[in-house]
Amino acid sequence: MKFSTVIFFTLLSFTLHAQTTEIPKTSNEPGRPKLVVGIVIDQMRFDYISKYYSKFSENGFKKLIKQGFNCKNTNYNYSPTYTGPGHASIYTGTTPAFHGIVGNDWFVRNTNRPTYVTDDPTVQTVGDGSEKAGKMSPRNLLASTIGDELRLYSNLKSKVISIALKDRAAILPGGHLSTGSYWFDSGTGNFISSTFFMKELPGWVNDFNAQHLAGKYLSQPWNTLLPISYYTESASDDNPYEGLYPGETKPVFPHNLPGMYSKNDYGIIRSTPFGNTITKDIALAALKGENLGKGDFTDLLAISFSATDYVGHKMGPQSVEIEDTYLRLDRDIAEILTYLDKNYGKDNVLLFITADHAAAYVPAQLKDNQLNSGYFNGKVFLNFLNEYLKIKYSDSTFVSFAINNEIYLNHSTIRQKNLILKDVEDEIASFSTTYNGIANAYTGYQLNGEVLKSKPATLIQNGFNIKRSGDVALMFEPAWLEEAIPTGTTHGSTYTYDTQVPLLWYGWKIQSGYTSEPVDITDIAPTIATMLSIMPPNACTGKPIVKITK
């Protein structure tokens, strides 16, 4: 065969190959949903679903239970269980030991003062809000989120939107690469952002704020959704374990919301179910305004319902107010599910619902019913501790700060006394365990390196970050809270009433069913990553939930 003939057939082969080879498509790849929706409910106990089930609507929680997958034994695998660490752990797939969000606030040794979890003095408010309310960002978050990884995978073409009343509940889920994170400003009743994310609010957010929904929701009294006699799952409406709303003398319905706000302060909406409703409203506006799930790449919408936490703190888990808040939240969730099913189709959306922590029963109520419980007075404890240190070391200035059930020590003072830090930590831990209400105490040396065998100790260790946590961590007795007043509740402990939360999955590739096998809260992000075939967040320590991903 001549050389020219070889060239001819070679060129012909290349031509035919070029004609038959398909150009790769850039559209959304098969095997991925168009949209991921994460819903976090602030302070939701696991048992609220069964407790209020008979009064839920057919299209809200009941729909998720019947058509979705229920992880019935989901727990936080660290403490303290607070809002900031909870949201960070859900979306990073790891614990505070690695993502660094050790509380809603913590003490910074370099500045000798506490800092707020999302404080950022380098940024400015975007939107019609107070100057301070917008000086927020995720800079303190050390790890990437599942949204960050989704954005990186798509070369920043995926959209990630996060929304909440609380700034930290909007900012931490959205992560560093959020397309837009929005939170509520009490002074104006608007949703705002910061220059970390954008230079100006998009048109759809301005249009939403122009409706002035906060004022409209607060223009009428809060009455129960159902006749109050139906609320048999709750204690009597008038009982001594509930707090009071502004201007009220009894904690009873109806609550006169029009008398509790002014046009310069819409903050009271946070402590009503309408705080959740306005969050639902802006979430639906985001779906439309951003055309989420309508592009070539999977998008993510993170929604956090914060009002449940405010109502729970004030009224406690046995109140008619918290039950009514959840019945109304059920209707809000039903509206979101109905919108998603209608506009995307169930098989095109992957959705999960969980909580950032749960809550304890009101200790005063437990004590009145002859259960072990109590209130820990931190100021009194520190006074006793300082007196003890003065006797032991002739110095009462060793303690720099106390927060998150942790004691921060003044390392410089201890060195000047020619003392060994570990010895001082051991002494304080030993003293603490003699104090009423404290079950145990762990030193920084233990938490940073030792293998701790008990589950509570392991949870505290998972929440310990050597650069941001204190030197001695206290663990209270069961049902003991650090609160100043005997009404309402709080959270933060290693006990199941704080750590066990709901986890429901719905939509794309989710078969109906349930599992009672243990699931950690840090398993959510790697489960999503596995289903989307993308990398998990960069500090992820969780594992995919096999019952779902298989």
Lowest mean pLDDT among 326-330, 343-347, 449-453: 449-453
Average of per-residue pLDDT across 272-292:
98
> Do 419 and 345 share a structural domain?
no
pLDDT at 195 over 90: yes
42 vs 5: which has the higher pLDDT: 42
Average of per-residue pLDDT across 157-176:
98
pLDDT at 418 over 50: yes
Q: Is 83 a catalytic residue?
A: yes
- Residue 333's domain spans which residues? 39-104+115-365+494-549
pLDDT at 5 over 60: no
DSSP-assigned letter for residue 265 = B
What is the spatial distance between Cα 171 and Cα 135, in angstroms, rounded to a whole number?
11
**Terminal CA-CA length for the chain:** 56
Considering 427, 448, 476, which residue would you say is the last residue of a domain?
A: 476
Three-state SS at 41: strand
Look at residue 405 and tell me if it is in a domain. yes
> Do 306 and 385 share a structural domain?
no
The confidence band for 154, taking pLDDT boundaries of 50, 70 and 90, is very high
Average of per-residue pLDDT across 400-423:
97
> Do 355 and 381 share a structural domain?
no
What is the spatial distance between Cα 246 and Cα 315, in angstroms, rounded to a whole number?
13
pLDDT at 275 over 70: yes
pLDDT at 478 over 60: yes
> Do 446 and 336 share a structural domain?
no
CATH number at residue 391: 3.30.1360.150
Average of per-residue pLDDT across 70-81:
98
With beta carbons less than 8 A apart as the criterion, state whether 537 and 149 touch.
yes
Look at residue 27 and tell me if it is in a domain. no
pLDDT at 2 over 50: no
Three-state SS at 36: strand
Instruction: Tokens 């046995």: give the residue.
Output: 318
φ/ψ of 305, rounded to 5, equals -95, 110
| CB contact set of 262 (below 8 Å; sequence gap of 6+) | none
Look at residue 4 and tell me if it is in a domain. no
23 vs 358: which has the higher pLDDT: 358
The confidence band for 21, taking pLDDT boundaries of 50, 70 and 90, is very low
pLDDT at 396 over 80: yes
pLDDT at position 147 is 98
Which residue from 129, 124, 125, 161 is spatially nearest to 145, judged by alpha carbons?
A: 161
pLDDT at position 16 is 41
pLDDT at 141 over 80: yes
Average of per-residue pLDDT across 141-148:
98
Average of per-residue pLDDT across 331-351:
97
pLDDT at 194 over 50: yes
> Do 390 and 280 share a structural domain?
no
> Do 217 and 137 share a structural domain?
yes
CATH number at residue 512: 3.40.720.10
Which structure tokens are listed for 322? Answer: 């918290």
Look at residue 309 and tell me if it is in a domain. yes
Average of per-residue pLDDT across 62-85:
98
pLDDT at position 29 is 53
pLDDT at position 200 is 98
Q: Is the dihedral of CA 100, 182, 75, 46 positive or negative?
A: positive
> Do 499 and 400 share a structural domain?
no
With beta carbons less than 8 A apart as the criterion, state whether 338 and 75 touch.
no
pLDDT at 456 over 50: yes
The predicted model scores a pTM of 0.94
pLDDT at 31 over 90: no
127 vs 485: which has the higher pLDDT: 127
> Do 453 and 309 share a structural domain?
no
> Do 414 and 383 share a structural domain?
yes
Average model confidence (pLDDT) for the chain? 94
**Number of domains making up the chain:** 2
Look at residue 1 and tell me if it is in a domain. no
Look at residue 137 and tell me if it is in a domain. yes
Average of per-residue pLDDT across 186-206:
98
pLDDT at position 15 is 45
| Paired strand residues for 255 | 222
Instruction: Tell me which of 74, 81, 83, 325 is the catalytic residue.
Output: 83
> Do 463 and 350 share a structural domain?
no
Average of per-residue pLDDT across 494-502:
98
Identity of the residue numbered 507: G
- pLDDT 10s digits, 434-445: 999 999 999 999
Q: What is the H or E stretch that residue 198 is in?
A: none
What is the spatial distance between Cα 215 and Cα 536, in angstroms, rounded to a whole number?
41
pLDDT at 264 over 90: no
Look at residue 64 and tell me if it is in a domain. yes
The confidence band for 30, taking pLDDT boundaries of 50, 70 and 90, is low
What is the spatial distance between Cα 300 and Cα 306, in angstroms, rounded to a whole number?
19
Average of per-residue pLDDT across 280-293:
98
Cα Rg of the chain (Å, integer) = 26
The strand pair at 519-520 and 74-75 is best described as parallel
Percent of the chain with pLDDT over 70: 95
Look at residue 251 and tell me if it is in a domain. yes
Helices 274-289 and 307-315, packing angle to 10 deg: 170
> Do 405 and 288 share a structural domain?
no
What is the spatial distance between Cα 211 and Cα 277, in angstroms, rounded to a whole number?
14
> Do 326 and 252 share a structural domain?
yes
